[in-house]
Amino acid sequence: MDNTNTIIKVDNLQTSFFTHRGEVKAVDGVHFDVPAGKTLGIVGESGSGKSITSLSIMRLIESPGRIKGGNITFNGEDLLAKTEAEMRSIRGNKISMIFQEPMTSLNPVYTIGDQIAEAYQIHQGLSKKEALQKSLGMLELVGIPSPKARLKAYPHELSGGMRQRAMIAIALACNPQLLIADEPTTALDVTIQAQILRLISGLQKELGMSMLLITHDLGVVAETCDYVAVMYAGKIVEYADVTTLFKQPKHPYTVGLLKSLPRHDIDQDELQVIKGMVPSPDDLPEGCRFAPRCPFAREMCVNSLPDLRDQEEGNQVRCWIHTDEWDGPEVNVKDDYDYGYRTVEGTES
């Protein structure tokens, strides 16, 4: 993690929702950077805080949510200190976002052309005509067939895949330095997923953008990302470059995710999944948040939360197993991991 050409640096980000039931810590002390021109994947199950992290970067958290603390540095500038007007000139211009739901993310009463053109009108002060001209170019770039006709089409006239392409066109219109793609393919048919993913990562390289790719699919990460942050219940539990992560996963949660990937090389009767559920952010365990589901968990895991520590292999891992304080038998997480849901053992051994 070299600071010299880091495009965005997120430092101890804390975003909470203040509901009548109390504070919900959706994002609780997240750190990561994205080097220029690289792709960072954020993986984690539903509810782990991936979307809230990306919306925090865009400063689009709505009430009752609030960014409670931390720093977000974009191109050396402190995003959290920006005024709303300054943020607006960044959104859709220098940082863009693609959302998960192509079916509902486009405004149903405006044409595709109008919706792309708006970005040019806002950020480059172009006239409607010039803006539409450039929008046409974008539709060609994202591979929409008969782009001239599509310019005048309304969202409901397009398929899910085409709408997501239109969303990509909107996001990339102003040549952003950072693209945040929040599960851009989850809602699409499997065959379309691969196409859209290839399109996004192709354009990312072509345009030299940095990308934050949010997904719960490690297969997607393997194909497109340079670095990976594994998120669990509002915290990052493991961070590594993609090769290291797949070769030497250290956190039991990462290993669990990897082992639950469908495999094509062997016949599988059933897909193995991590037992249990992500704890709700309004009722988080006191110690390691993964402890209740972790096959290696011991009393220390339940009692206190480890921090993110550098490993020899280059990973950063938040797990007691990889510390000197670990009081259990030696484990090789990758080999010893099994799916049995275990209750917490005492310090016998």
Partner 1 sequence: MFIYTLKRLLQTIPVLIGVTLVVFLMMHLIPGDPAQIMAGERASEEQIELTRDRLGLNDPLPVQYATFVGNAIQGDLGNSIRNGRAVTTEIGTRFWVTVELAFYSTLLSIFMGLMAGIISATRRNSPVDMFIMVFALFGLSMPNFWLGLMLIQYFALNIDWLPVSGWGSPQALILPVITLGTAGAAIIARMTRSSMLEVIHQDYIRTARAKGVKERYVIYKHALRNALIPVVTVVGLQFGALLGGAVLTETVFAINGLGRLVVDAIGQRDFPIVQGSVLVLALLFVLVNFLVDISYRFLNKRIELD
Half-sphere exposure of 136 (CA within 13 A, CB side): 10
Strands 309-310 and 22-35, how do they pair?
unpaired
Candidates 48-56, 62-70, 77-85, 159-167: pick the segment binding Mg ion (CB under 5 A): 48-56
Q: In angstroms, what is the minimal distance from the CB of 270 to partner 1?
A: 34
Strands 6-19 and 22-35, how do they pair?
antiparallel
Tokens of 63: 């009430």
Does position 50 interact with ligand ATP (CB under 6 A)? The reply is yes
Distance CA 251, CA 189 (A): 31
Does position 125 interact with partner 1 (CB under 8 A)? The reply is no
Tokens of 269: 């009767």
The type of residue at 262 is P
CB closer to partner 1, 168 vs 274 = 168
Could you give the 3-state DSSP secondary structure of residue 53? helix
Does position 20 interact with partner 1 (CB under 8 A)? The reply is no
Half-sphere exposure of 291 (CA within 13 A, CB side): 21
CB closer to partner 1, 88 vs 309 = 88
* Cα-based torsion angle of the residue sequence 100, 97, 103, 27 in order, rounded to the nearest 10 degrees: 40
Does position 298 interact with partner 1 (CB under 8 A)? The reply is no
Does position 66 interact with ligand ATP (CB under 6 A)? The reply is no
By CB under 8 A, how many residues form the interface with partner 1? 28
Residue 151 interacting entry, from partner 1, ligand ATP, Mg ion, none, C-beta within 5 to 8 Å by type: none
Q: Given the structure tokens 């790719």, which residue do they identify? A: 213
CB closer to ligand ATP, 147 vs 256 = 256
The vertex-9 CA angle with 197 and 46, nearest 5°, equals 50
CB closer to Mg ion, 51 vs 96 = 51
CB closer to ligand ATP, 22 vs 145 = 22
Among 51, 53, 185, 210, binds Mg ion (CB under 5 A): 51
CB closer to ligand ATP, 94 vs 216 = 216
By CB under 5 A, how many residues form the interface with Mg ion? 1
Closest C-alpha to 58, from 105, 94, 12, 106: 94
Could you give the 3-state DSSP secondary structure of residue 22? strand
Helix locations, the chain, DSSP H: 50-57, 84-90, 112-123, 128-141, 147-151, 160-172, 190-207, 218-224, 242-247, 252-259, 299-303, 333-336
Distance CA 261, CA 256 (A): 9
CB closer to ligand ATP, 235 vs 322 = 235
Q: In angstroms, what is the minimal distance from the CB of 3 to partner 1?
A: 27
Does position 102 interact with ligand ATP (CB under 6 A)? The reply is no
Instruction: Give residues 269-308 in contact with ligand ATP (rule: CB under 6 A).
Output: 281
Among 66, 68, 82, 88, binds partner 1 (CB under 8 A): 88
Candidates 86-94, 251-259, 273-281, 329-337: pick the segment binding partner 1 (CB under 8 A): 86-94
Provide the binding-site residues for Mg ion, judged by CB under 5 A: 51
Provide the binding-site residues for ligand ATP, judged by CB under 6 A: 17, 19, 24, 26, 44, 46-52, 65, 216, 281
Provide the binding-site residues for partner 1, judged by CB under 8 A: 58, 60, 84, 88-93, 96-97, 99, 101, 104-110, 118-119, 122-123, 154, 156, 167, 170
